[in-house]
Structure formats: structure tokens, C-alpha cells
């Protein structure tokens, strides 16, 4: 029986896939995509990445894919964890091989020069834990099959020589094909092994404990070669762009989906902007230098280098400005042990790629596990690597236990971003407990001093720029709340005295929407390394035999051009690689929370909607209070059905009225919580986190649902699908207002800190797949959840409940350090605002909110005719500049302005428009104007003031400045400059 083509379901789209798509569809390689940054969480398959049929037509690659399959599939199925011999074959379909060739051509074992032994049986045994059915589909027109997505399984070439990970395992279980296991998809390098560097020398390092059987040199397994295009969320320029394979149930998976009878109006479309970015994958971004057994990773303005040491360790060499391959020898000769240490650690953390707990390591470690025999020390050594496009995976294998740590590096060449993560693989027969698993540690070069910049805060005062000199010791930024929290963003920048436009800056950010930890450890000798990952607070993550877990991604940025450039790089990265619908203009929002709070009634909402539409709003969101039992905070969360007293016919009439007014319609939800006074809790009191013998902690009068439990996830998907299908709902504000406490889901003995976040991601992904047109705003009591992980699944975030336009400026200033303005919602609310009671004029309130995504959140029923007219003018003006604001280059101009002035400029992606904002809460000392020097303009260009017609040269604006009037209290200005043709 010839094997079917193995489908490679990578955790996210690979460059290889882009190539495949290019060949299939002619699309441009490297188009901005909406890849998910966060990792799947290894033990659960990613549902959202499955798109299209995994048949041969999808498989296109320049080289012939090498497939591997078990010699005896029946035995593999019957005897779980049995080691099976794999056969190799070249796939001649999909354009490989001679015309007319069909099927898979087996390569005789003798030709491979090796025997492949894979842990395929382990995959079968661990099926329940390893993966889930992601798709049932037709296999070659006749046999109905199921496709499972599993985590990568290790393959080993025997005799031992190389150990290589080859990506996902694809299983098909068909009716007349009891078990077919295909391990896909690898390339055989087809060349002799590098004898010295990797062949026998390496073999000796790995098996120095007596298992030093000499064997013939073996080939390396290279490149993932078979790929299925991943789903694209929010493809640029597509007005209704989410394309994800819908979940179809056949005996497995979640309950059937109840489709709505509601007919969706399709007359409203979101605005698109012309393509703003283009990226080209640079296949030379990652180089292996065999002479030194070193790796050189290069992107725009940076290099990162490390090497395999003689003892099998991974020695860090460089993270900083660009270097050439010829520099690596010098790096290797540079003995980092010149420095003494106050920590007495050996080796020192800044010399290692992975700081594992074990030996004399006393610096901050990244990885700690406990083996079944109680041993809590690791002893990992290099075992092989794989380069696929701009991603490098280096496998470290424990010298005693069947345990791997696979370090992944992915270069985003154009943004100068390096993404890292670590996969932990238990290949053994006993469980391993993970106690600490950071995504990466980042060694920084020696500098005489270090300054740290981070975004600290609290509820209603999030993302305050905080800058301190680092002293010897540890800077620990973290959340223990189960969400990223308000206390700090999982983001950190370090410099040795950089300014806005000059100096080196290193920065890291974690794509994780749960508890996290960033540690900057500075030794007395000036050596600094940063560890970033999930928080090990109360963490106990058992890895069952044959399973793996992958940490979330941590992204690192280096720039030599100061904090402006750092901001640009983070913004570009979010636009190109993180946020869905990267090229779609965000709508002007109206949200009714501060207008009506819990008193949500159809009549008042319609009145608000009429007024909002009159101002130019494009999306109308009904906040908390619309659902059954929700008269106040005490009840109703969990039952996502409209309050029958107020909405006897459901939400459809209101939604349709909003649509008639020309706006999209959205509602607020808090899916992860449940009120004790709710139908859901009465039916399923066991679905929350709780200890049987301890009191349950209520927070904002709710419990937290255990999304670690599949039935809870299925219920939420069904409930949200029911809601979204019951009325033409276009958007959700997805909130969470409580921390994770009592960390036990009553089922799984492991601590649920990670499963909860992975469960949330799964629920969002499934809801998005079912309702691809729906947009989502992320909120957690304001800005408690605004990390790269959630941002890869939501269109924008709500940075703070504090809508005081003055205080908002500081919040926005910090937010923009880490995040692009096209993710930053801001509302104009009533004066005085309900939290701070401050009175601020309408103009200042609008100008402040126009620095991000403009929303309106005031009680428009009480606004005067003049206020409504003024508001409408501001909305019109905003629409004129919003492409520039949402997708432009941001410059903070404060450094050049008086202390009481906040100023910033946005330059359109094509340089054609500038929007300059200036604010002063109370102008003093007879000052009537400020002179703001703009940055990064074309000195030879002429810029025309859109209001006055005044013409300024770029040189004048940069070197002398733009004079902006600011007088009195709550003075603000918006100057729009158009570049003369």
C-alpha cells in the first residue's frame, strides 16, 4: 500500500509554505501575513492552522519531498510505543519527478545508508495527549479519513549519528486503511555527512558514555518539505478576509455547530488601505558555518551568533550589530571567562544559549525539570540541527534521559526581529515534570552601564514608561495573575545610554497571555542576561511519555539607532507578523459602557446608536449589561443569552437597526468567567478552578472557568457560536475581570496555568474559524491583557478603563513603545470623566483619542448640539488622517519640548502626510507656542499645512521646528501637513 502524501502541519506558516503558495497561486512571497506569534502549546493541536485539504495538490516544493513511513503499521498500532522501522520514499506527485510519474517511490534501505527509527509508536500511544482530530477529509476521493495533528516526533538515524526533529506527524485513519502513519516530511540531504564536524566527532560527543559504536557516516535530514498552507487571518486587502477551515464534526471533536437562520447583511464593508508593507524572506538569514560548528543569524541591522562547543554545549557568541561569517573565528577566540563573577556560577549564564538547571549553574536558569527517579538536574548536549528557510531548530539531548530541548530561532529579517522558543520533548517511558521553562535566555554584550526601560502600571494607569539604571542583582518583572496584568507589560528594553535617535537598544517581548516572568540579571562584573517566559510561580507541568510542550515565542529586537528605531521595529513586527487584518483600517467605534453602564435597554441603545451614526461612528458596541440576569455585577456572567425582559426578540432587532444606521454591531462578553448566580454555574459547579477543601475566591463576583477542561472549551465555543449566530453581530469586546486563583481544575493533577491560556487561545481560534467576519477587541479590566499572544488573535486592545484624556496621554505614550497604534483603542467620554472627575474640553479629549483608534464612549444623549457638531467635525478630521495615525511612523517629540508638553507626530507609510499632536494641561510663563522639531522627514520636500496653507521645507521642520500654538488650560493642537507633490 503506497503511503498517502504526508501533510506537514507546522505550528505556523513556514517560508516553505510561502514558496509553495507562490508556485500554486502566483502570490507574492513574503506578503504580510497574520501569523500567530504565540505557540500552540504542544499537547493540544492548533486548530486554526488547518486550512484546505492536505492532498497532493497542495504539496509543492522545489525539491522532491522525502517521506517516511512505518514498515509495519499494524504492529505500530497494536503495540503502542513499539519502535518501528521506517521506510523512506520520494514523493513523485505534485510536480516532482518525471512527468507521468505517480505515487511514492521507495528508496531501498541500502541507498539511504541508514535505518530510520522513529518514535512513531509513542505517537500512537500518546494520541490522546498529543493531538486531536483537526479535520476529517476525503483521502483521494474515496476513503473518508481523519487527520490528526500531532506534535513533532523525534526521528533517529541508526546507527546513531544525527538526531533530528522533522516536524509534525500526520496520521490518517481510514475505513479500509486501519492505520496509516506517515511521518512527514523530510529531505535527505543526499550528501555524505560532514565527517569531522558533525559525523563521527559529533557522534562521540553524544554517546560518550559507552555507546560509541562506530557507524557509517549518515546523511542529515534536512528541511521540512511538505506543507499545507496555513490559514490566514485577516489577509491584507480582503474586506472579509478570514479564511479558516471550519470545524466539521464526524464522531469526534466539539458538538455540532448550530448554524443561524439569520441572514447576514453584507452591504457594510470594512475599509482597506493599500498594501502598506511588503516583506521578502531572506534565505541567507540563517547560516551554519561548519568550520566552526557555529550559527550566524542575520536580519536588518543585527546579528546573533552561537556555536557548538567541544563538550556539546551551545556557546553564545554575539547579539548586536551585524557581523560577517569571517568574524566568527574571532568570537570563538574571545574567552568570555576573562571576567570574574560574584555568582560563582559555572558556566556563566551569558555564555550559554540555554541556561539549564544542573551542575554549578547558579545564575538565573531558564529550564528545570524533575525526572521520574527524582533527579532534578539536566545535562543537555547538542544533538543536531535543522534549517528550514529562516528558522533554525537546534536539538539538545540529555546525556542520560530520553529528553530533548529543541531551541528554535526564527529571523524576521526585515524587522530585525529574532523569535525564539523552546520545545521540551519527553521521549521516555516515564513522566517528566517541568518546573521552569522560559522561552529563552538572552545574553547581552558587556557594557559599562545598563539602563532598563519597562512599562509599569496598575489598574487605570497602565503602561507608564519606567526607566531606571540597573544595579547588580535582578530586575524581576512578572505577572502571577493568569493574565499579563496591569503591573507591567511582558516587554523590556535595555540600553547603555541610548536616546530617541542614537544608541544601542536591546528589547524582548513575550507572546503569552498568562502569568509571565522577565528577569534581567546583572552580575557585578557587568555581565547581563535576560530570561523570558511563562512564570514558574506554582508551575508543575507534567510531560507524559511521548509528549512534548512548546513554550510561547519570545521576540528579541536589537537596534543601533535608539528608541525611535526600536519603536519602529516593534510596530512593523506587529503589523506584519502579529495582528490580524494588518492592512485594514480600524473603524471609528462607539461603546455604550460609560453612557449606560448596566442599564442597557433597547430604546436608549438605539438613541445612542442614532447619535453615534450621526457623528460618523462605524461600529456600535453594547458593553456589559445586555444579557440575562445582568442588572449589576452580581449575576449573569456565563449565560450569554440576551435578557428576555429587555430583548424579548434577542439582539437581532437592535443589531439590524444598527446596521440600518450604517454601522457594524458588537457586544461585550467575558467568556472565561462565571457568576455564582448564573444558569451555567448552577448546572456545572465543578467547571471552575477550586480546591475541594478550601474556600473559593470570588473576584468581581465571579469564578474562573477551567478552560483546561475540554468540555468547558466546547461549551464556550457552542455558547459564543450560538450568540454570534443569533443576530448579525460583527464584533466582540472580549473581557476578563479576575485572576486565576485556586489553580486546580479538578481533573488534571498538573497546575493549569498554561492549559488555561492554551484553552483560551483554542476557544478564540475556534470562534474565529466559525465566524471569520467577526472582529475582537481584547480587554482585561482595561489593559490587563495586551501581549503579543492575544494580539495575534484580536484586532485591537483596550489599553485602560481610564478615559481621562490627560491621563490617557501617559498611558498611550507607554503603550506605543511596545505596540502599534492600530491596536490602541481610545474613547472620547463625558466631562467630567467618571473615574477621575476631571473636566476637559471636547477638543483636547478628541485630540488625545485621535492618537490611536478613535472611539466615542460618552453619553451622547446628554451632549449639546454644539458638542455633537464639534464631535462630528473631529471624526471627519480623524478619518482624513487615520491611515497615517494607525499605520504610520510614530515619533515622540517630548524630549525637545517644555516639560509640561506632550507631543508626537505620525508620518504616513508613503511619507505623504504628517499629523502632529501637541498637548499642554496648563500653559505657564506667558508661553503661547511651542517649537517642535520633527524627525525623519525628507529635508528637500515641502510640507503644506492643510489648514493654513503655510509651506515648510522638511529641512526647516527638522532643524528649526514646527511652531504650534498652545495657550491656556487643556491646550491641544493637531497640525496636518501634506507633502507637496
**Residues near ligand GLA (CB under 6 A):** 593, 623-624, 668, 735, 737, 779, 781-782, 798, 801
Question: From the CB of 759, what's the least distance to ligand GLA, in Å?
Answer: 21
Q: Smallest gap, in angstroms, from Cβ of residue 595 to ligand GLA?
A: 12
Closest distance of CB 594 from ligand GLA, Å? 8
Residues facing residue 584 across a β-bridge: 272
Nearer to ligand GLA, 245 or 737 (CB): 737
Q: Do residues 825 and 666 make contact, with C-beta atoms less than 8 angstroms apart?
A: no
Indicate the residue among 495 and 624 with the shorter CB distance to ligand GLA.
624
**Residue number with CB closer to ligand GLA (551 or 675):** 675
SS3 (DSSP) at 558: strand
Q: At its nearest, how many Å lie between ligand GLA and the CB of residue 233?
A: 24
- Cell numbers at 357, concatenated: 538547571
Task: Kindly give the pairing relationship between strand 432-444 and strand 541-543.
Answer: antiparallel
Least Cβ distance, residue 458 to ligand GLA (angstroms): 14
Q: Kindly report the CA angle at 446 between 445 and 449, in degrees rounded to 5?
A: 120
Minimum CB distance to ligand GLA, residue 779 (Å): 5
How far from 290 is each of 45, 194, 216, 305, 323, CA to CA, in Å?
Answer: 35, 8, 19, 13, 17
- The answer to whether the beta carbons of residues 682 and 638 sit under 8 Å apart is no
HSE-up (13 A, CA, CB side) for residue 526: 12
| Separation of first and last alpha carbons in the chain | 67
Q: Which is nearer to ligand GLA, 69 or 827 (CB)?
A: 827
User: Which residues neighbour 742 within 8 Å (Cβ) at sequence distance 6 or greater?
Assistant: 689, 690, 691, 694, 696, 697
Nearer to ligand GLA, 717 or 779 (CB): 779
State the cell numbers at 56: 497532493
Question: Which of residues 72 and 631 has its CB atom nearest to ligand GLA in the complex?
Answer: 631
Grid cell digits, residue 259:
448554524
Paired strand residues for 451 = 469, 495
Q: Nearer Cβ to ligand GLA, position 150 or 760?
A: 760
Whose Cβ is closer to ligand GLA: residue 782's or residue 789's?
A: 782
Shortest separation between residue 917's beta carbon and ligand GLA, angstroms: 24
For residues 810 and 790, the answer to whether their CB atoms sit within 8 Å is: no
CB 959 within 8 A of CB 933: yes
CB of 455 to ligand GLA, least distance (A): 18
Q: How far is CA 185 from CA 63, 68, 152, 285, 901, in A?
A: 12, 7, 11, 23, 58
Least distance (Å) between residue 853 CB and ligand GLA: 14
**Grid coordinates given for 491:** 516587554
- Assigned C-alpha cell, 610: 442614532
**CB 783 → ligand GLA: shortest distance, Å?**
8
d(CA 141, CA 33): 31
Element (H, E) at 442: strand 432-444
Min CB(800)–ligand GLA separation in Å: 8
Comparison of 184 and 671: residue with beta carbon closer to ligand GLA: 671
**Cis, bond preceding 832 (omega within 30 deg of 0):** yes
Query: Closer CB to ligand GLA, residue 391 or residue 624?
Result: 624
Residue closer to ligand GLA by CB (options 753, 827) is 827
Q: Which is nearer to ligand GLA, 512 or 668 (CB)?
A: 668
Grid coordinates belonging to 150:
500531532
Give 780's strand partners. Answer: 783
Q: Of 789, 835, 782, nearest to 811 (Cα)? A: 782
Give me the residue label for grid cell 502579529: 578
Where does 684-804 have alpha helices with state H? Answer: 710-726, 753-770, 788-791
Residue 945, SS3 per DSSP: strand
Contact present, 840 and 827 (Cβ < 8 Å):
no
In whole angstroms, how close is the CB of 843 to ligand GLA at the nearest point?
24
Q: Looking at beta carbons only, is 39 or 803 nearer to ligand GLA?
A: 803
Minimum CB separation of residue 90 from ligand GLA in Å reads: 56
Element (H, E) at 127: helix 127-130
β-bridge partners, 620: 590, 665
Residue 356: Cβ-neighbour burial (10 angstroms; 0-12, 13-18, 19+): buried
Cβ nearer to ligand GLA, comparing 395 with 673: 673
Looking at beta carbons only, is 323 or 589 nearer to ligand GLA?
589
Give the residue with the Cβ less far from ligand GLA, 155 or 621: 621
Stated as kind and residue range, the H or E segment containing 330 is helix 328-333
Position closest to ligand GLA via CB: 624
CB of 839 to ligand GLA, least distance (A): 21
Query: CB-side exposure of 348: number of CA atoms within 13 Å?
Result: 26
**Choice between 162 and 624, CB closer to ligand GLA:** 624
How far apart are CB 513 and ligand GLA at their closest, in Å? Answer: 16
DSSP type of residue 376: -
In the chain, what's the furthest Cα-to-Cα distance?
89
Shortest separation between residue 682's beta carbon and ligand GLA, angstroms: 22
**Rounded distance between C-alpha atoms, residue 114 and residue 722, angstroms:** 54
CB of 483 to ligand GLA, least distance (A): 12
Break the chain down into helix, strand, coil percent, rounded to 5.
Answer: 20, 30, 45
Q: What is the bridge-based pairing of β-strands 825-828 and 853-856?
A: parallel
Amino acid at each position: 500500500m503506497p503511503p498517502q502524501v504526508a501533510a506537514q502541519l507546522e505550528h505556523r506558516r513556514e517560508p516553505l509554505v510561502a514558496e509553495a503558495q507562490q508556485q500554486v497561486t502566483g502570490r507574492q512571497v513574503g506578503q504580510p501575513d497574520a501569523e500567530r506569534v504565540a505557540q500552540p502549546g504542544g499537547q493540544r493541536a492548533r486548530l486554526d492552522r488547518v486550512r484546505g485539504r492536505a492532498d497532493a495538490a497542495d504539496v509543492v516544493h522545489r525539491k522532491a519531498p522525502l517521506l517516511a513511513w512505518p514498515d509495519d503499521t499494524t504492529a505500530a498500532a497494536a503495540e503502542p510505543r513499539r519502535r518501528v522501522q521506517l521506510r523512506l520514499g520520494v514523493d513523485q506527485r505534485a510536480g516532482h519527478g518525471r512527468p507521468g510519474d505517480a505515487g511514492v517511490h521507495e528508496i531501498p534501505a541500502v541507498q539511504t545508508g541508514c535505518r530510520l527509527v522513529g518514535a512513531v509508536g509513542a505517537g500512537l500511544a500518546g494520541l490522546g495527549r498529543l493531538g486531536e482530530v483537526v479535520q476529517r477529509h476525503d483521502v483521494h476521493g474515496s476513503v473518508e479519513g481523519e487527520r490528526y495533528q500531532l506534535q513533532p516526533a523525534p526521528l533517529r538515524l541508526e546507527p546513531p549519528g544525527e538526531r533530528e526533529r522533522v516536524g509534525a506527524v500526520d496520521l490518517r485513519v481510514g475505513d479500509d486503511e486501519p492505520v496509516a502513519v506517515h511521518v512527514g516530511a523530510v529531505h535527505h540531504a543526499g550528501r555524505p555527512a560532514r565527517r569531522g564536524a558533525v559525523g563521527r566527532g559529533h557522534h562521540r560527543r553524544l554517546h560518550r558514555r559507552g555507546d560509541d559504536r562506530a557507524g557509517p557516516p549518515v546523511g542529515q535530514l534536512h528541511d521540512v518539505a511538505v506543507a499545507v498552507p496555513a490559514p490566514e487571518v485577516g489577509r491584507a486587502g480582503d474586506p472579509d478576509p478570514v479564511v479558516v477551515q471550519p470545524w466539521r464534526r464526524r464522531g469526534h471533536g466539539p458538538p455540532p455547530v448550530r448554524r443561524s437562520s439569520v441572514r447576514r447583511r453584507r452591504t457594510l464593508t470594512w475599509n482597506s488601505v493599500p498594501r502598506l508593507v511588503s516583506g521578502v524572506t531572506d534565505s541567507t538569514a540563517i547560516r551554519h558555518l561548519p568550520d566552526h560548528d557555529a550559527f550566524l543569524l542575520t536580519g536588518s541591522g543585527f546579528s546573533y551568533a552561537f556555536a557548538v562547543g567541544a563538550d556539546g554545549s551551545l556557546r553564545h557568541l554575539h547579539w548586536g550589530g551585524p557581523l560577517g561569517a569571517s568574524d566568527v573565528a574571532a568570537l570563538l577566540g574571545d574567552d568570555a571567562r576573562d571576567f570574574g563573577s560574584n555568582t560563582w556560577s559555572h558556566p556563566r549564564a551569558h555564555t550559554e544559549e540555554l541556561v539549564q538547571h544542573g551542575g554549578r549553574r547558579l545564575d538565573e536558569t531558564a529550564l528545570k525539570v524533575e525526572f521520574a527517579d527524582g533527579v532534578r538536574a539536566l545535562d543537555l548536549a547538542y544533538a543536531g540541527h535543522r534549517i528550514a528557510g529562516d528558522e533554525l531548530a537546534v536539538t539538545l539531548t540529555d546525556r542520560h534521559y530520553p529528553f530533548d530541548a529543541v531551541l528554535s530561532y526564527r529571523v524576521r529579517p526585515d524587522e530585525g526581529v529574532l523569535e525564539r522558543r523552546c520545545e521540551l520533548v519527553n521521549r521516555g517511558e516515564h513522566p517528566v515534570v517541568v518546573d521552569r521553562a522560559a522561552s529563552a535566555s538572552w545574553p547581552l554584550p558587556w557594557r559599562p552601564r545598563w539602563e532598563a526601560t519597562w512599562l509599569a502600571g496598575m489598574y487605570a494607569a497602565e503602561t507608564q514608561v519606567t526607566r531606571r539604571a540597573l544595579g547588580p542583582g535582578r530586575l524581576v518583572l512578572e505577572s502571577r495573575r493568569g493574565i499579563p496584568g496591569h503591573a507591567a507589560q511582558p516587554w523590556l528594553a535595555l540600553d547603555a545610554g541610548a536616546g530617541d535617535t542614537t544608541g544601542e537598544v536591546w528589547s524582548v517581548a513575550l507572546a503569552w497571555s498568562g502569568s509571565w516572568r522577565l528577569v534581567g540579571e546583572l552580575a557585578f562584573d557587568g555581565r547581563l542576561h535576560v530570561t523570558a517566559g511563562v512564570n514558574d510561580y506554582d508551575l508543575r507541568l507534567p510531560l507524559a511519555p511521548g509528549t512534548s510542550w512548546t513554550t510561547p515565542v519570545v521576540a528579541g529586537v536589537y537596534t543601533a539607532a535608539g528608541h525611535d528605531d526600536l519603536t519602529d521595529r516593534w510596530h512593523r513586527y506587529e503589523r506584519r507578523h502579529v495582528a490580524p487584518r494588518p492592512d485594514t483600517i480600524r473603524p471609528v467605534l462607539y461603546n455604550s459602557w460609560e453612557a449606560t453602564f448596566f442599564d442597557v435597554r433597547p430604546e436608549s441603545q438605539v438613541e445612542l446608536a442614532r447619535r453615534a451614526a450621526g457623528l460618523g461612528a462605524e461600529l456600535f458596541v453594547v458593553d456589559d449589561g445586555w444579557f440575562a440576569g445582568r442588572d449589576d455585577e452580581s449575576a449573569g456572567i456565563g449565560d450569554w443569552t440576551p435578557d428576555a425582559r429587555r430583548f424579548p426578540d434577542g439582539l437581532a432587532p437592535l443589531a439590524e437597526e444598527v446596521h440600518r444606521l450604517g454601522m457594524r454591531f458588537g457586544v461585550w462578553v467575558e467568556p472565561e468567567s462565571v457568576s455564582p448566580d448564573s444558569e451555567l454555574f448552577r448546572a456545572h459547579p465543578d467547571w471552575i478552578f477550586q480546591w475541594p477543601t478550601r474556600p473559593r475566591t470570588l473576584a468581581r463576583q465571579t469564578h474562573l472557568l477551567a478552560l483546561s477542561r475540554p468540555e468547558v472549551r466546547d461549551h464556550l465555543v457552542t455558547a459564543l457560536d450560538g450568540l454570534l449566530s443569533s443576530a448579525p453581530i460583527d464584533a466582540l469586546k472580549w473581557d476578563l475581570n479576575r485572576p486565576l486563583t485556586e489553580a486546580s481544575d479538578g481533573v488534571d493533577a498538573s497546575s493549569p496555568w498554561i492549559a488555561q491560556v492554551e484553552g483560551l487561545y483554542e476557544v478564540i481560534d475556534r470562534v474565529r474559524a466559525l465566524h471569520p467576519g467577526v472582529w475582537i477587541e481584547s480587554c482585561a479590566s482595561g489593559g490587563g491583557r495586551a501581549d503579543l499572544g492575544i494580539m495575534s488573535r484580536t484586532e485591537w486592545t483596550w489599553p485602560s478603563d481610564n478615559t481621562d484624556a490627560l491621563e490617557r496621554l501617559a498611558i498611550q505614550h507607554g503603550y506605543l513603545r511596545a505596540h502599534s497604534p492600530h491596536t490602541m483603542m481610545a474613547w472620547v467620554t463625558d466631562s467630567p470623566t467618571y473615574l477621575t472627575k476631571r473636566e476637559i474640553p471636547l477638543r483636547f479629549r478628541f485630540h488625545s483619542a485621535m492618537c490611536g483608534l478613535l472611539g466615542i464612549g460618552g453619553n451622547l444623549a446628554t451632549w449639546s448640539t454644539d458638542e455633537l457638531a464639534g464631535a462630528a467635525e473631529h471624526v471627519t478630521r480623524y478619518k482624513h488622517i487615520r491611515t497615517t495615525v494607525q499605520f504610520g511612523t510614530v515619533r515622540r517629540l517630548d524630549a525637545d519640548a517644555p516639560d509640561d508638553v506632550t507631543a508626537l507626530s505620525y508620518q504616513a507609510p508613503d511619507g505623504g502626510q504628517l499629523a502632529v499632536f501637541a498637548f499642554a494641561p496648563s500653559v505657564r510663563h506667558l508661553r503661547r507656542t511651542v517649537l517642535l522639531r520633527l524627525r525623519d522627514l525628507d529635508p528637500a520636500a515641502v510640507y503644506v499645512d492643510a489648514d493654513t496653507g503655510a509651506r515648510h521645507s522638511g529641512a526647516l521642520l527638522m532643524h528649526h521646528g514646527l511652531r504650534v500654538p498652545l495657550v491656556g488650560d487643556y491646550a491641544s493642537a493637531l497640525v496636518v501637513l501634506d507633502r507637496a507633490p
